Chains A and B, each alone.
Chain A
């Protein structure tokens, strides 16, 4: 007998829908599956509110069309809803000087062409984040669902949120702290392009220390990403811009990248978050410090 408990009618429905009950049970963290679990779309948990006023016949206001939410999108929606409802989140905003990184990228351009690897700013940011996570172990941790145990991770894997045609995917680069920039850049590029074609294996997702969600290529000056549990923080990045800094009375143009760290306040307090982001910004400003 299977360890999963589901009534015969639910097993039959799962077969018709092509749903793997064992996998679903694992995803839901349960041993029993009810009919409702197969219908999807509803958040796994969270405060119950009155949503009846959302249920509006929009066509009375003008022409509309409808499209079904894919199963992928429904699962993502349920997970985001649960994360947002259940985790007390705070977002800390800062920025980092990227002059040195940009200069280095410029110097390495020919090397990059020769290697066929695009040495992106994101690769530097991932490497700097990995170093910061080694320095601040509570940011590289997960809180058990019952809130009783904090698991500290002795590895550094970085999730990269990728915007794809079928929805958001988060492939993970393993052991970023032990890899060189060329390799990190190549792996991010490979995972991102495969994610576009939904060719990322299940073993290439999950298990991250922290996720980076990078909107730098699109725009924006800051945002508040939602923590991706069981991780305890997520780093948002928006577009690099030249800002004016003042050295006393003297204005100085500096190229800076905005950093937005949303974190689980149950695990991380505000002062620690400020220290963490400040340390990270320092590494980005002077990438030599990543090495020492």
Chain B
């Protein structure tokens, strides 16, 4: 045995990795956590969820200030100091990542800055140092997909570059109308960019409910965002003056942009840890397959988070992290749910979990749908909210919820009630009889259930 030995080693300090390391430490394990970044927190804290939500908050503040006129509140022209905004965002990130260092210390989790690669099924190399371990958890996340055939150019950004806020481009093209692309459109449209979103599928936010997406689509267009669906970018040319994107399909023609963002998805980073040296199975998308207990095919090796494939979401990684820590420590645990909520922090927010109407239809699941338009929500109107919709998919026989989609202000927060209801097997009646405070946006969930039951008096 070499001098460097870990009882449990966690590769990656993102929301999956640190959740796993901390949970394992709380279960009495000696834990080592390795990450190449200077700070803990992984993609989520450093270049993902947290900084992007800081910018989205700023975008919301800009819009609120601008819309103040409607309420007789005038602030004059809103100006943005990009350096200050960036510094504010960075300070929040720093506060959170530093907080993690404290949490790790308190649990006596040893953290190492470095890149780990397997050299055997019980050994690793960390930047030239040999390590052995009893158990390992792979939590090395994912990276933005780079489209082939694009030129090398500083004006082509991925989701990480976007958050650096080097400038506010006059004309911004975003290739990919998924959650990340739409959030970036929301931020830069508020900052003053003329944004065009190009999506290959027939709607933005592919996979989300189309009624809800229509509302988000309209809101983005009202903000001046141009959206081209069913459109493929065939060629990108970089000249000194601009980037030119040639498009085919729903939109035929050329789009000139000062900056283009690639937001066409993320690819698992499985290959980064040299999994083959340990005999760990990996597929050609970089995904390390695991079972519900997060075990990879090699005994004593686990994988969690984005490296295990879709959906690549921090909250899934966190839950898997706890599962892996518990299973590795001899407890029976598993991620035994398919209810992983999706949230786009756009304006309005779009959030969903469980089956959408289209999925239920496609899978042949007996279902019915009920919805409540937010134009009838007092709380939405008095807080200056725009159009919104709460929509529930349910089983007509058992009256149990199968899925929920919410578009509107704070949709991401409101979805939590629906997820809990689905996990508990709640029926429409349960949801409608639980008293929702008035006036709140959460009422719309109760109203939707009442509408399905025919007891609604607010429409």
- Contacts of A32 on B, CB cut-off 8 Å? 425
Verify B338–A1 contact, CB threshold 8 A: yes
Within 8 A of A (CB), among B307-364: 331-334, 336-338, 354
Contact present for A5 and B425 (CB under 8 Å): yes
- Bound: A93/B354 CA distance, A: 60
Flag if A16 contacts B338 (CB, 8 Å). Answer: no
How long is the Cα–Cα vector from A91 to B331 in the complex, in angstroms? 50
Stretch in contact with the other chain, from A7-15, A113-121, A198-206: A7-15
The distance from the CB of B120 to the nearest CB of chain A, in whole angstroms, is: 31
Indicate if the CB atoms of A5 and B400 lie closer than 8 Å. Answer: yes
Report A145 CB to chain B, min CB distance, Å. 19
- Tally of A interface residues using CB under 8 Å: 12
How many residues of B sit at the interface, in one of the four size bands?
Answer: 10 to 19
Which residues on A sit within 8 Å (CB–CB) of B398? 31
**Which of B331, B402, B424 has the most A CB atoms < 10 Å from its CB?**
B424
Question: Which residues on the B side are within 8 Å of A15 (C-beta)?
Answer: 332-334, 336
**Looking at the complex, which one of B332, B334, B338, B425 makes contact with A7 (CB distance below 8 Å)?**
B425
A6 at interface, CB cutoff 8 A: yes
A49 within 8 A of B: no
Q: In the docked arrangement, what's the CA distance between A11 and B333, Å?
A: 10
Query: A29 an interface residue at 8 Å Cβ cutoff?
Result: no
Q: Does A18 have its Cβ within 8 Å of any Cβ on chain B? A: yes
Cα of A16 to Cα of B334 in the assembled complex, Å: 10
* B337 pairs with A8, CB closer than 8 A: yes
Q: Do B332 and A11 have beta carbons less than 8 Å apart?
A: no
Shortest beta-carbon distance from A201 to chain B in Å: 25
**Number of A-B residue pairs having CB atoms within 8 Å of each other in the complex:** 23
Using a CB-CB cutoff of 8 Å, which residues 9-31 of chain A contact chain B? Answer: 11-12, 15-16, 18, 31
Minimum CB–CB distance for B250 against chain A, Å? 34
B333 touches A8 (CB 8 A): no
Complex CA distance for A32 and B400, rounded to whole angstroms = 12
Task: Enumerate chain A residues within 8 angstroms of B338, measured Cβ to Cβ.
Answer: 1
Q: Does B423 contact A (CB under 8 A)?
A: yes
Chain A residue at minimum C-beta to C-beta distance from B339: A1
In A108-126, the 8 Å CB interface with B consists of: none
| B-side contacts of A18, CB under 8 Å | 332
Measured between beta carbons, the chain B residues less than 8 angstroms from A7 are 423-425
A5–B400 Cα distance when bound, in Å, is: 10
List, in ascending order, chain B residues with CB within 8 A of A5's CB.
400, 425
Establish whether residues A8 and B423, one from each chain, have CB atoms under 8 Å apart when the complex forms. yes
Which B residues, 421 to 458, have Cβ-Cβ distances below 8 Å to chain A?
423-425
Minimum CB–CB distance from B355 to chain A (whole Å) comes to: 8
CB atoms of B332 and A16 under 8 A apart: yes
Kindly state the separation between the CA atoms of A89 and B331 in the bound complex, as whole angstroms: 46
Give the distance in Å from the alpha carbon of A5 to the alpha carbon of B423 in the complex: 8
Alpha-carbon distance A1/B359, docked complex (angstroms): 13
Closest Cβ neighbor of A33 among chain B residues: B425
Residues of B within 8 A of A16 (CB): 331-332
Q: Which B-chain residue is minimally distant from A32 (CB atoms)?
A: B425
Contact among B332, B334, B425 with A6 in the assembled complex (CB-CB below 8 Å): B425
Shortest distance from the beta carbon of B340 to any chain A beta carbon, whole Å: 12
Chain A nearest CB from B405 CB (Å) reads 16
Chain B residues at the A interface, C-beta cutoff of 8 Å: 331-334, 336-338, 354, 398, 400, 402, 423-425
In the assembled complex, 18 residue pairs joining A and B whose CB atoms fall closer than 8 Å, in A order, are A1-B338, A1-B354, A5-B400, A5-B425, A6-B425, A7-B423, A7-B424, A7-B425, A8-B337, A8-B423, A11-B336, A12-B333, A15-B333, A15-B336, A16-B331, A16-B332, A31-B398, A32-B425
5 A-B pairs closest in CB distance:
A5-B425, A15-B332, A16-B332, A7-B424, A8-B423
